[in-house]
Amino acid sequence: MIESNAGAPGKMQEAKLPRRDWILLPMLGILAIFFLAGSVELIAMWMFPQLGTGAAGEDCMVFNDPSTGSRGIPHCRVMEKIAEGELMEYRFNSSGFRSDEDFGPKTPGTYRIVMLGTSFTLGMRVPIEKTFAALLPLELSRRTGLKVELYNEAMPYRAPEVIADHFSEVLKAKPDMILWALTAGDLSARSGKVNLLPISDRKNSFLVRAWHRVKAAYAAGSFMDLIRYIYRHTRTATLLTHFLYSSQSQLVKASIMTGGYMSEPTLEQKRGLKQFDQDSARMETQAMNAGVPLVTVLLPDHGEADMILTQDLPSGVDPYSRDKELRSIITSHGGTYIDIFSDLRNKPDLQRGYFIAEGHPNALGHAIFTEVLAQELTNGSVPALKVAAQPQSALKQGR
């Protein structure tokens, strides 16, 4: 008789999985991952509803035009609601600028400001009536007693060199002052480097555009770009970003990791500042020849804003570094530079003044910018506004 050794210690043979289980188990794991990811995405979509793809405003703009740079499409209107924002409408006038009115001849007694800049200055993602472009002339009129109007000629992705090339068009509006509102990204922007989908593709659905990205990634062998693109267009990305960066300290840490806020600029930043120096000099020369003051200001991005409001920062980190560099460049050409960073240190609400995931200033941020810009423009930096304010003040005291 042969005894079985099945129960003998150390003699048990491992049971082999059937071949079908080697296929079913990984498939179940993948399905579980997709189920969890899909559930999170559905929750995020419920928490952060949006209209379309969140880039509807771009349907009213043309980019990479070699003759003009980025520009708006005249008489174009389009609705948009990003995940973090409210339902709003972009409206462009006959000149292709974001305005409810056409830009016409200046009426007597009107102080006209033409404002230049990119997406922050345009007021991306914010209803036009809540942007500082709409609020600032009202506040300046209230403070000075003048009739102030503002023509907003800002356009996303319009590099300083493109603005300088077309500066004569700005002067045709016969402004009394030109306000150039910059952001850190504008200092490194260059024409011809805007990497956006063409208008024909941006009007397609997300799935169609994603498929086009898949083909482009396959051709270029860059699948990480594809993964990042798809992830950025999920509501899960918005949810996770809100979870991570609702904390001011976490956003500051993440901003520092990018290396863009150090006391000593990087080699790339130095090249950008050198090019900006040349472009701003061209603009300042034309403005001086026309007898029009060109006033420049730097608007902080979300990272800079939170650093300004943070008491203790690591050694070598300076959120005022770009502000100082710009002041030096602008004043070296005889231009006027206004500093709002020091004023913003007393505005703790600014931490809530940006869309956390999208990055642009929200309505609160625009209201804060309006207040500090009006304060700096009427403190004597622009003589015409200060002179107009003095009789008004004297009149009130005499009553």
Tens-digit pLDDT profile for residues 315-370: 878 888 889 999 999 999 999 999 999 999 999 999 899 998 888 999 999 999 99
Which of 115, 183, 120, 102 has the alpha carbon at shortest distance from 148? 115
Within a domain: 87: yes
| 1 pLDDT tier (thresholds 50, 70, 90) | very low
Within a domain: 107: yes
Within a domain: 327: yes
The total domain count for the chain is 1
Specify the amino acid at residue 9.
P
> What is the span of the domain harbouring residue 290?
56-195+245-388
pLDDT tops 70 at residue 193: no
Within a domain: 43: no
Burial class of residue 382, CB neighbours in 10 A (0-12, 13-18, 19+) = buried
Tell me the average pLDDT across 281-293: 95
Within a domain: 92: yes
Within a domain: 286: yes
Model's pTM, two decimal places? 0.81
The structure tokens listed for 149 are 């109007």
Within a domain: 233: no
Percent of the chain past pLDDT 70, that is, above it, reads 78
pLDDT given for residue 397 in this prediction: 42
Comparison of pLDDT for 303 and 245, the residue scoring more = 303
Instruction: Determine the 3-state secondary structure of 262 from DSSP.
Output: strand
Q: Which of 11-20, 38-47, 189-198, 255-264 has the lowest mean pLDDT?
A: 189-198
Tell me the average pLDDT across 112-124: 96
For residues 129 and 388, what is the distance between their CA atoms, to the nearest angstrom? 26
CATH number of the domain enclosing 272? 3.40.50.1110
pLDDT given for residue 226 in this prediction: 65
Within a domain: 4: no
Dihedrals φ, ψ of 293, to 5°?
-70, 135
pLDDT given for residue 294 in this prediction: 97
